[in-house]
Amino acid sequence: MGQDEEIRRLLQDIRDAQREHLAEYRRVAERSLEIQERAVARQDQAGRLVRQIVLVGGILGAVLLALLVYILARWSRYLFGI
User: pTM of the predicted model, to two decimals?
Assistant: 0.61
Q: For 11-70, write each residue's pLDDT tens digit.
A: 999 999 999 999 999 999 999 999 999 999 999 999 999 999 999 999 999 999 999 999
What is the rounded CA–CA span in Å between residue 9 and residue 21?
Answer: 18
CA distances from 62 to 32, 59, 72 (A): 45, 5, 15
Q: Check if the beta carbon of residue 82 is closer than 8 Å to that of residue 76.
A: yes
What is the rounded CA–CA span in Å between residue 70 and residue 76?
Answer: 10
CA distances from 6 to 1, 15, 32 (A): 9, 14, 39
